[in-house]
Amino acid sequence: MLVDAHCHLGDRAFEADRDAVLGRARAAGVAHVVVIGESLAGSERAVALARAMSGLSATAGVHPHDASSWSGEVEHRIRELLAAPEVVAVGETGLDYHYEHSPRDTQRRAFEAQLGLAAELGKPVVVHSREADDDMAAMLRTWGDRLPAVVLHSFSSGDAVWEAGMGVGAYFSFSGMITFKNWTMTDRLTGCPPARLLVETDAPYLAPVPHRGKRNEPAYVGEVAARAAALCGESLDALAQRTTANARACFGARLETVL
Ligand SMILES: [Zn+2]
């Protein structure tokens, strides 16, 4: 049994065939999918999906790309969504200085507000970080002690974020990137504390080999797990058991419901 710790199942890429996608996930041994909210509308969709089905849970938050949309009203509604039992974490939030779809200071403000919500409500926070290592490391150090858990999703950051993440006991979630030929960070995967490793798809993005370039889907977390097991020198079964237990420890009892 596997958990896909990060999937944008509410994305319009799945509009036409979401049931079939979930059927294939179930057939591939995926027990649970964490459905990510990346905007207010996306969080509403994620929560609706998780309410309708066991084996799904949701997060609620605003992605750094959309940080400009953050406002008092958005915060109010995200806070309401976070009170639902199906909603297991704040996010995805964070900093993305590569695309900079929202200005950097706007991203920092929205991220900080969401870290504050997570601390106040006692929820884990799902973090996106790209080319913002120094600011991210500083924010993690400032907030880490006040958060029940931090998930560094699709981990591919440099030393500063790695060290800050290790310092706050973060979960490191690895995606299909670990199957790519140009993946060079195997030492991060093998150096990750055993109880802090998660696997994810980030579907519909980042499809693992041999599906690279196509739409990703939760069934393919199996490919990510197989590659992680090979790199860590353990059986797929052992890695699946370990990462599933880690996801449950991180996100809570909702993760025990199965597809
Ligand atoms: Zn994502």
CB environment 205-242: b (16+ within 10 A), e (fewer): bbbbbebeeeebbbbbbbbbbbbbbebbeeebeebbeb
Residue 202 alpha carbon to ligand 1 centre in Å: 5
pLDDT given at position 42: 98
Residue 196 alpha carbon to ligand 1 centre in Å: 19
Distance (Å, whole) CA 53 – CA 63: 24
Distance of CA 205 to the CA centre of its chain: 12
Mean pLDDT within 246-252? 98
pLDDT tens for each residue of 118-133: 999 999 999 999 999 9
Distance (Å, whole) CA 242 – CA 60: 26
Residue 142 alpha carbon to ligand 1 centre in Å: 23
* Integer Rg of the chain from CA: 17
Q: First-to-last CA distance in the chain?
A: 11
pLDDT given at position 54: 94
Residue 6 alpha carbon to ligand 1 centre in Å: 6
What mean pLDDT is reported for the chain? 97
pLDDT band at 138 (very low <50, low <70, confident <90, very high): very high
pLDDT given at position 4: 98
Mean pLDDT within 54-74? 97
pLDDT given at position 161: 98
Share of the chain above pLDDT 90, in %: 99
Residue 93 alpha carbon to ligand 1 centre in Å: 9
pLDDT given at position 157: 95
Residue 236 alpha carbon to ligand 1 centre in Å: 24
pLDDT given at position 143: 97
Residue 167 alpha carbon to ligand 1 centre in Å: 23
pLDDT tens for each residue of 4-42: 999 999 999 999 999 999 999 999 999 999 999 999 999
Q: How far are the Cα atoms of 8, 112, 166, 258 from residue 39, in angstroms, in the given order? A: 11, 16, 28, 26
Burial class (CB in 10 A: 0-12, 13-18, 19+), 187: exposed
Tokens coding 236? 């797929």
Distance (Å, whole) CA 49 – CA 47: 5
pLDDT band at 192 (very low <50, low <70, confident <90, very high): very high
Cis-peptide into 120, omega within 30 deg: no
Spatial CB neighbours of 39, under 8 Å, sequence gap ≥ 6: 62, 63, 66, 69
Residue 46 alpha carbon to ligand 1 centre in Å: 12
pLDDT tens for each residue of 141-171: 999 999 999 999 999 999 999 999 999 999 9
pLDDT given at position 113: 98
pLDDT given at position 108: 97
SS3 string, the chain, reads CEEEEEECCCCHHHCCCHHHHHHHHHHCCEEEEEECCCCHHHHHHHHHHHHHCCCEEEEECCCHHHHHHCCHHHHHHHHHHHCCCCEEEEEEEEEECCCCCCCHHHHHHHHHHHHHHHHHHCCCEEEEEECCHHHHHHHHHHHHHHCCCEEECCCCCCHHHHHHHHHCCCEEEECHHHHCCCCCCHHHHHHCCHHHEEECCCECCCCCCCCCCCCCCHHHHHHHHHHHHHHHCCCHHHHHHHHHHHHHHHHCHHHHCCC
Share of the chain above pLDDT 70, in %: 100
Mean pLDDT within 54-61? 98
User: Please, which residues have CB less than 5 A from ligand 1, an ion?
Assistant: 92, 202
pLDDT tens for each residue of 78-113: 999 999 999 999 999 999 999 989 999 999 999 999
Residue 92 alpha carbon to ligand 1 centre in Å: 6
pLDDT given at position 111: 98
Residue 37 alpha carbon to ligand 1 centre in Å: 8
Distance (Å, whole) CA 107 – CA 96: 8
Residue 73 alpha carbon to ligand 1 centre in Å: 23
Residue 257 alpha carbon to ligand 1 centre in Å: 22
